[in-house]
């Protein structure tokens, strides 16, 4: 009997030790414990050392750190009927552990599914050029929509970044041809603007020469000087008599 009593005492001591270990829980600084007593929500505890009564209370551990979620590639048809594949990355965190546990079964999976559907619906409202050129604005739109829809789950969406917009090879060639045509159009416009400005300057110069005949003679001599410097040859040209008359005029 004494040996049996000793064994019972030992078992009781071990059971008590395990019960004490089960009562006390340690939560890290970035963790919170959502407590349920007999199935009813009774509060959020942590961080640090907390007490959870076995068999009466259950604790769901929630991580408050920012979660980086990779949104899988989605098939998107743009507003101008171009099929592309788009993927993104989502940054979010739990701000209300009670809602994150009670309002949704798995807040991580729910946020991922919502991000996928939102990515398709938002980008489908824009043309391909907008997807490629205005990515920052689209990121802000996605972040705002996801943040509004996950607020009921106690989730805060901090940022959404579109990573890649993959286009079919045939569409890449079409975009390259479009870009080349756009460059040619701009080149022609610039050339036409240059021709117009040159014509305007020539008209202005002609008006000045018409008002001052001596300016025409000076231009004539300057041109002859340039020709003589370029080619070492004899040049025969008529000398304008108006220049003599201009030179014969007595100075005032």
In the 3-class helix/strand/coil scheme, how is 119-136 assigned residue by residue?
HHHHHCCCCHHHHHHCHH
Residues 6+ positions from 224 with CB-CB distance below 8 Å: 235, 237
The pLDDT of residue 229 is 65
Which residues face 37 on adjacent strands?
40, 57
DSSP one-letter string for 118-187: HHHHHHTTS-HHHHHH-HHHHHHHHHHHHHHHHGGGTEEEEEEEEEEEEE-HHHHHHHHHHHHHHHHHHH
Distance of CA 215 to the CA centre of its chain: 61
Low-confidence ranges of the chain (pLDDT < 70): 1-6, 8-9, 15, 19, 170-176, 209-252
Domains, the chain, ordered by start: 2-63 (no CATH), 67-167 (3.30.479.30), 173-248 (no CATH)
Distance of alpha carbon 64 from alpha carbon 98, whole angstroms: 12
The residue assigned the tokens 């050392």 is: 49
Residue 178: count of CB within 10 angstroms of its CB: 11
DSSP one-letter string for 12-73: HHHHHHHHHHHHEEEE-TTEEEEEEETTEEEEEE-SEEEE--TTTEEEEEEE-SPEEEEEEE
The pLDDT of residue 244 is 52
The pLDDT of residue 250 is 55
pLDDT per residue as tens digits for the range 203-218:
777 777 666 666 666 6
């Amino acid at each position: 009997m004494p040996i049996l009593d000793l064994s019972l005492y030992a078992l009781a001591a071990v059971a008590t030790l395990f019960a004490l270990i089960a009562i006390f829980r340690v939560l890290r600084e970035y963790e919170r414990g959502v407590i349920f007593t007999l199935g009813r929500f009774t509060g959020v505890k942590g961080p640090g050392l907390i007490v959870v009564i076995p068999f009466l209370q259950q604790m769901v551990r929630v991580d408050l750190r920012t979660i980086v979620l990779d949104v899988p590639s989605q098939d998107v048809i743009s507003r101008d009927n171009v099929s592309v594949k788009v993927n993104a990355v989502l940054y979010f965190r739990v701000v209300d552990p009670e809602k994150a546990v009670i309002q949704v079964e798995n807040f991580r999976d729910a946020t991922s599914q919502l991000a996928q559907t939102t990515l398709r619906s938002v980008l489908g409202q824009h043309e391909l050029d907008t997807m490629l050129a205005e990515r920052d604005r689209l990121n802000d739109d996605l972040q705002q929509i996801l943040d509004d829809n996950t607020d009921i789950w106690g989730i805060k969406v901090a940022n959404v970044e579109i990573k890649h917009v993959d286009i079919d090879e045939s569409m890449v060639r079409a975009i390259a041809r479009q870009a080349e045509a756009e460059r040619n159009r701009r080149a022609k416009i610039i050339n036409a603007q240059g021709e117009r400005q040159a014509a305007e300057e020539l008209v202005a110069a002609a008006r000045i020469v018409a008002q001052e005949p001596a300016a025409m003679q000076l231009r004539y001599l300057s041109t002859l000087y340039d020709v003589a410097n370029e080619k070492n040859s004899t040049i025969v040209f008529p000398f304008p008599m108006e220049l003599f008359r201009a030179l014969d005029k007595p100075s005032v």
